[in-house]
């Protein structure tokens, strides 16, 4: 299995043009090893049997989770995840206490990574859709309420037998594909050790938010370029996102009202470059704060961009 997946690909897909998508899941490093298999045998079999593309994020020191990405048709993705579920059951993490072969009634769990924007599609109004998927497949689904750190993804855990997981993931993938345009702008979750900065990948249709890998600062780093000469505490992070110039105004708001509110709600310091920082014409936003404050600021910025996008779409439709 490739250690170099391309998680950005789903953001460039449009459900009206294709019938494939990428579904991501969080796996432990041990589970990743089982999925890949000795010499890559298991994943090679997976690709051959289902026709999917598969990738696992790189191993990061101090991190015990990796991201599994499966790309294909909805049915192929369901086939792949059911094979993965069976492989995990057949290769238990604690083999000394497990039977030689898992019975058909044995259960496991798949932790899907779902964009916050698409959670409504999966859950449905008043939970009708998620209940329907559970009733049809026999799985138990648990949707996390919190966003994963510094991302706009949440975990939906699918618990059940191999067959029930197959049915459920096929239904989930169909739901996602029907509303795939809402995936645009998702900030993908990247597992990272504590006090490390993550690389964010996101797009915003033609007005993309291009997240830049934050630079880890030495303890005595001088923030003169940001009008601050004070050393930053270890629990304070600096992150950067690039935002198209035509979207900066809506984020700032009249007399700075919106950006002031984002600063107040997040408690993060947000510095906006006065001029575009490269040939793309995008403006650099620098976010400084605790991991929690930065995450809140990113979500609020993203939400404001999403609102502006929808406003422009409505305006175009009415024109």
Closest CA to 169 of 112, 209, 235: 112
CB atoms inside a 10 Å sphere around CB 63:
16
The predicted pLDDT at position 171 comes to: 98
175, 251: one domain: no
Residue 222 banded pLDDT, cuts 50, 70, 90: very low
| Domain match, 38 and 149 both | yes
Query: How confident is the model at residue 303, as a pLDDT?
Result: 83
Average pLDDT, integer, range 210-215: 36
Please give the average per-residue pLDDT across 131-140, as a whole number: 97
**Residue 107's pLDDT band (boundaries 50, 70, 90)?**
very high
What is residue 278's predicted lDDT score, i.e. its pLDDT? 61
296: its two tokens = 């809140």
Give 1-15 pLDDT, tens digit per residue: 444 444 433 444 444
CB atoms within 10 A of CB 83: 19
Q: What is the count of structural domains for the chain?
A: 2
Q: With bands split at pLDDT 50, 70 and 90, how would you rate the model's confidence at 105?
A: confident
Contact (Cβ atoms closer than 8 angstroms) between residue 269 and residue 263: yes
Band (pLDDT 50/70/90 cuts) for residue 69 is very high
CATH classification at residue 122: 3.30.310.210
| Residues 49 and 145 both lie in one domain | yes
What's the CA gap between 177 and 97, in Å, rounded? 40
- Above 50 in pLDDT, residue 319? yes
Query: Does 57 share its domain with 171?
Result: yes
Q: Is residue 175 domain-shared with residue 33, that is, in the same domain?
A: yes
Give me the mean pLDDT over the 297-316 stretch: 81
Q: How many angstroms separate the CA atoms of 74 and 173, rounded?
A: 5
pLDDT given for residue 50 in this prediction = 97
pLDDT digits (tens, 9 = 90+) for 161-194: 999 999 999 999 999 999 887 776 677 888 887 6
Q: Are strands 20-28 and 108-115 parallel, antiparallel or unpaired?
A: antiparallel
The mean per-residue pLDDT over the stretch 294-310 comes to 84
The per-residue pLDDT for range 233-255, each reduced to its tens digit, is 557 888 887 787 888 899 999 99
* Owner of token pair 């026999």: 138
d(CA 33, CA 318): 53
Task: Give percent of the chain with pLDDT exceeding 90.
Answer: 45
Tokens 């996101």, residue located: 202
In a domain, 59, yes or no: yes
Distances (CA, A) of 220 to 60, 196, 217, 248, 309: 26, 17, 8, 32, 40
Tens digits of per-residue pLDDT, 44-63? 999 999 999 998 988 888 89
Please give the residue that has the higher pLDDT: either 157 or 294: 157
Residue 253 domain flag: yes
When the pLDDT of each residue in the chain is averaged and rounded to a whole number, the result is 79
Could you tell me if 125 and 265 lie in one domain? no
Which pLDDT score is estimated for 95?
63
Note whether 175 and 245 are same-domain residues: no
Taking 80 as the threshold, does the pLDDT of residue 219 lie above it? no
Long-range CB contacts for residues 131-134, cutoff 8 Å, separation at least 24:
133/168, 133/171, 133/172, 133/175, 134/168
> 135 or 235: which carries more pLDDT confidence?
135
Which pair of structure tokens corresponds to residue 171?
Answer: 């239904």
Rounded to whole angstroms, what are the CA distances from 225 to 100, 103, 279? 62, 62, 21
17 vs 56: which has the higher pLDDT: 56
- Count other Cβ atoms within 10 Å, centred on residue 27: 20
- Tell me if 223 is assigned to some domain: no
Residue 282: what pLDDT?
73
In this predicted structure, the answer to whether residue 36 has a pLDDT above a threshold of 90 is yes
8 A C-beta contact, residue 91 and residue 99: no
CA distance 155 to 142: 8
Can you read off the two tokens belonging to residue 263? Answer: 């600063």
Read off the tokens for 7.
Answer: 């998680």
Domain of residue 274, CATH code = 3.30.1370.10
Output the pTM of the full model: 0.63
The boundaries of the domain holding residue 138 are 21-93+106-183
Which comes out higher in pLDDT, residue 156 or 180? Answer: 156
Question: 3-state SS string over the chain?
Answer: CECCCCCCHHHHCCCCCCCEEEEEEEEEHHHHHHHHCHHHHHHHHHHHHHCCEEEECCCCCCCCEEEEEEEEEHHHHHHHHHHHHHHHHHCCCCHHHCCCCCCCCCCEEEEEEEEHHHHHHHHCHHHHHHHHHHHHHCCEEEECCCCCCCCCEEEEEEEECHHHHHHHHHHHHHHHHHCHHHHCCCCCCCCCCCCCCCCCCCCECECCCEEECCCCCCCCCCCHHHCCCCCCCCCCEEEEEEEEHHHHHHHHCHHHHHHHHHHHHHCCEEEECCCCCCCCCEEEEEEEECHHHHHHHHHHHHHHHHHHHHHHHHHHHHC
Domain match, 69 and 151 both: yes
Residue 207 falls within a domain, yes or no?
no
- Asked if residue 85 has pLDDT above 60, the reply is yes
Average pLDDT of the segment spanning 22-37: 95
């Amino acid at each position: 299995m490739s250690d170099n997946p391309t998680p950005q690909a789903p953001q460039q897909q449009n459900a009206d043009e294709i019938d494939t998508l990428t579904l991501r899941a969080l796996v432990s490093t041990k589970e990743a090893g089982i999925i890949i298999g000795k010499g890559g045998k298991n994943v090679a079999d997976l690709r051959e049997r289902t026709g999917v593309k598969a990738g696992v994020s790189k191993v990061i020191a101090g991190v015990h989770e990796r991201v599994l990405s499966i790309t294909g048709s909805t049915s192929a993705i369901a086939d792949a995840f059911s094979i993965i579920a069976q492989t995990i059951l057949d290769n238990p993490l604690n083999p000394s206490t497990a039977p030689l072969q898992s019975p058909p009634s044995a259960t496991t769990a798949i932790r899907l990574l779902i964009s916050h924007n698409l959670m409504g599609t999966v859950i449905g109004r008043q939970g009708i859709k998620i209940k329907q998927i559970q009733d049809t497949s026999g799985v138990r689904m648990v949707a996390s309420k919190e966003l994963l750190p510094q991302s706009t993804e949440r975990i939906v855990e699918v618990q059940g037998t191999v067959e029930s997981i197959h049915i459920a993931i096929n239904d989930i993938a169909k739901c996602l594909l029907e509303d795939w345009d809402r995936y645009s702008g998702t900030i993908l979750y990247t597992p990272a050790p504590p006090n490390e900065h993550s690389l964010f990948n996101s797009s915003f249709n033609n007005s993309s938010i291009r997240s830049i890998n934050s630079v880890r600062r030495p303890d005595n780093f001088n923030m003169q370029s940001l009008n601050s000469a004070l050393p930053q505490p270890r629990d304070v992070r600096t992150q950067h996102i690039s935002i198209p110039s035509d979207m900066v105004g809506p984020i700032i708001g009249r007399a700075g009202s919106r950006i002031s509110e984002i600063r107040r709600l997040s408690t993060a310091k947000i510095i906006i470059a006065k001029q575009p920082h490269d040939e793309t014409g995008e403006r650099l936003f620098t976010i400084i704060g605790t991991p929690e404050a930065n995450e809140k600021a990113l979500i609020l910025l993203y939400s404001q961009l999403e609102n502006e996008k929808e406003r422009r779409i409505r305006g175009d439709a009415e024109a």
